[in-house]
Amino acid sequence: MIEVRDLTKRYGKARGIEGLTFSVDKGEVLGFLGPNGAGKTTTMRIITGYLAATSGTVKVDGFDVFEDAMEARRRIGYLPENPPLYREMTVGGYLRFVSELKGIPRPNRKAAIISVAEAAGVDGVLSRVIGNLSKGYRQRVGLAQALLGNPEVLILDEPTAGLDPRQIIEIRNLIRSLAERHTIILSSHILPEVSMICSRVLIINNGRLVASDTPQGLSERLEGRGRIAVRIRSPKGETESLIRRIPGVVSVFIEPDDAAADDKSILFVVETDGKTDVREDIFFAVAEQGSPIIEMRPIDMSLEDVFLKLTTEERLEDEREVASGA
Amino acid sequence: MRNVWFIFKREVAAYFVSPMAYVMGAVFLMLSGYFFSIILLATHDASMQGILGNMALVFLFIAPVLTMRQLAEERKLGTDELIMTSPVSITSIVVGKYLAGLFTYMVYLAITWVYPVILIKYGNPDMGPIYSGYLGMFLFGAGCLAVGTFSSSLTDNQMVAGVIGFGLLLLFWILGWAEALVTGPVGNAIANLSLLKRFDDFQKGIIDLSSVLYYVSFIFIFLFLAVRVIDSRRWS
């Protein structure tokens, strides 16, 4: 449904995003996770056509968002981080304006407005002026606007930011109910939120894609299970069980599709409980046996590092905000 | 085309639900009424000549204020993310907004028709220069509004947009003085770019096709620039 290829956006010298590639299948709910300034909003703005990419392509349902902009835009409903509302308009008047912009034919407009207003829970406030609504209701009006024209793709930029806990739960439930009929990309910097709603998660940091997995896979990796790849030359038959006996090792298996395999070395993947460092123990155990280790490296450890980095960066940012505020 | 209409409709509504259209209209009509009364009392002449010239000058000050909100506010409030990601071209957006300003101006102009009506009732005015004067007034105002729409595309700050628009319009006014300062064809060429100088002929009852063409291209160029400015922002 959405194909993003080698997407790069630079703001002058500063980097927005760098070489982002991913795709979203029909009916999928994709979560963008990353700290503020990671490039989530930039990516979404390029997909919706608000910004042009420095290089790379985005296709929505086969239509390039730059070359076939109008066709692509007809298939996208977009809720920016700040809902794009005209404060002086009534909710009904605003939704009528958006339905006109989206090219909904006049006879269908009224029905379309009523159906999205019901879906977003704003059918009771259609005659109210937007400027007088609460933040939660404005977010819903923004969502109703994105739903108009029944677009196949919904792009939601931090849809729960700035809402109170009850409103957050309501909006989450709403998004989950929309997932049945739409392909959704939503961004957040709250990990549990993404894992609750999304079927797949992309983690972006400093404009680069650092991980892509299901929420389950992600949380398993985040729970601190370490994985180490060890390449051993001329191992004996009992090498595998030797490593398994080392305290802290959870499991050992031989990597089945080993690209660098030759007849003498074998790549073992060692899973640890993540608390103990088993590398020294592996070294001594295998060395005693007389088999040289020619390579040892952690697998996917970067993910944990990324998350530590994410949280520390956020903390630093908050501290900086507090400092500058005071 | 339909999209121009949708943008236009919303923009006109925005003008008339806010005090903007009324306040600007009141100021314009108050000053126009003053000029009409004072010039008529002084000359006892059933003509709009001179009156229209002063009205045009007043509108030169009004136009940037009337248009400064148009594109700047969309950007400030983030509503540009809606219209720029809708299946609507930037040209439709700019033209729709420009026409809304023009419509508001035409409402003002229509109200000022009470002055010719008064002249007809109590005198015997030559209608030719009045019609051509109003055509000139329309073209002149349309030019000012195009500059205003362009200025509004440059920034997200209404105040800044207003000041830029006002500065540009002042420049296009005083270009007319070049003739007196620089002699020869150069001074003439510069003076011909002036928005107000072209307007004088219309007041006298002369409809010069080149002047009409000048105003139309003037409008076209500034609207085109506004479209380019907004389009280029996607690349920043």
The model's confidence at residue A322, banded by pLDDT at 50, 70 and 90, is low
Residues B85, A100: C-beta atoms closer than 8 Å: no
Q: Which residue of chain B has the CA closest to A100?
A: B6
Radius of gyration of chain A (CA): 25
- SS3 assignment, position A230: strand
pLDDT digits (tens, 9 = 90+) for A29-81: 999 887 777 888 999 999 999 999 999 999 999 999 998 999 999 999 999 99
Name the strand (E) or helix (H) holding A239: helix A239-244
Considering only the beta carbons, identify the residue of A11, A49, A52 that sits closest to B85: A49
CB within 8 Å: A145 and B235:
no
- The better pLDDT of the pair A266, A154 is held by A154
Distance from CA of A77 to the nearest CA of B (A): 9
Question: CA-CA distances (angstroms) from residue A157 to A29, A41, A45, A77, B129?
Answer: 13, 7, 9, 11, 59
CA atoms of A290 and A314, how far apart (whole Å): 48
Cβ contact (<8 Å) for A49 and B84? yes
Report pLDDT for A216: 72
**Mean pLDDT for the stretch of residues A111-118:** 93
Q: Enumerate residues 6+ apart whose C-beta is below 8 A from B195.
A: B60, B140, B143, B144, B169, B172, B173, B218
pTM above 0.90, yes or no: no
Reduced to 3 states (helix: H, G, I; strand: E, B; else coil), residue A21 is strand
Chain A neighbors of B15, CB-CB under 8 A: none
Mean pLDDT, chain B, integer = 92
Mean pLDDT of chain A: 83
Phi then psi for residue A294, to 5 deg, are: -105, -10
Residue A246 binned pLDDT confidence (cut-offs 50, 70, 90): confident
Instruction: Confirm if A97 and A125 have CB atoms less than 8 A apart.
Output: no
Residue with structure tokens 């073992």?
A268
Ranges A246-255, B125-134, B170-179: which has the least confidence? A246-255
pLDDT digits (tens, 9 = 90+) for B176-232: 887 778 878 888 888 888 888 888 889 888 999 999 999 999 999 999 999 999 999
Mark yes or no for CB contact B82/A49 under 8 Å.
no
Amino acid at B17: V
Instruction: From chain A, pick out residues whose CB is under 8 angstroms from the CB of B14.
Output: 86, 88
Give the separation between CA A102 and CA A116, rounded to whole angstroms. Answer: 14
Residue A320, pLDDT score:
58
Chain B, window 2-41: residues with a beta carbon less than 8 angstroms from a chain A beta carbon: 2-3, 6, 9-10, 13-14, 17-18
Residue reference for tokens 């958006």: A98
* Phi, psi torsion values for A93, nearest 5 degrees: -65, -40
Q: How far apart are CA A80 and CA A44, in angstroms?
A: 9
Task: Among B9, B77, B82, select the one facing A98 at the smallest CB separation.
Answer: B82
Contact in structure between A290 and A306 (CB atoms under 8 Å)? no
What's the CA angle centered on A111, arms A105 and A117, to 5 degrees?
A: 120
Q: How far apart are CA A181 and CA A161, in angstroms?
A: 24
Token pair 């026409």 is found at B99
Residues of chain A found within 8 Å of residue B86, distances taken between Cβ atoms? 73, 98, 101-102
Task: Kindly tell me if the per-residue pLDDT of A150 is higher than 50.
Answer: yes
Kindly tell me if the per-residue pLDDT of A324 is higher than 70.
Answer: no
How many A-B residue pairs are in contact by the CB < 8 A criterion?
A: 72
CA distance, residue A104 to nearest chain B CA (Å): 11
Q: Which amino acid is at B156?
A: D
B125 vs A261: which has the higher pLDDT: B125
Q: What is the dihedral of CA B167, B170, B176, B178, to 10 degrees?
A: -50
Residue A149 CA to residue A59 CA, distance in Å, equals: 19
- Of the pLDDT bands very low, low, confident and very high (cuts 50, 70, 90), residue A223 is low
**Can you read off the two tokens belonging to residue B16?**
């008339």
Within 8 A of B17 by CB-CB distance, chain A residues are 88
CA B139 – CA B147 distance, rounded (Å): 13
Planar angle of CA B227, B234, B103, nearest 5 degrees: 30
Determine the residue type at A321: E
Closest CA to A46 of A215, A207, A189: A207
What proportion of chain A, given as a percentage, has pLDDT over 70? 86
Q: Does B85 touch chain A (CB under 8 A)?
A: yes
Residue A273 DSSP one-character state: -
The pLDDT of B45-64, averaged and rounded, is: 91
Q: How far apart (Å, rounded) are the C-alpha atoms in residues B81 and A217?
A: 35
Q: For residue range B60-71, what is the model confidence (pLDDT) as tens digits? A: 999 999 999 999
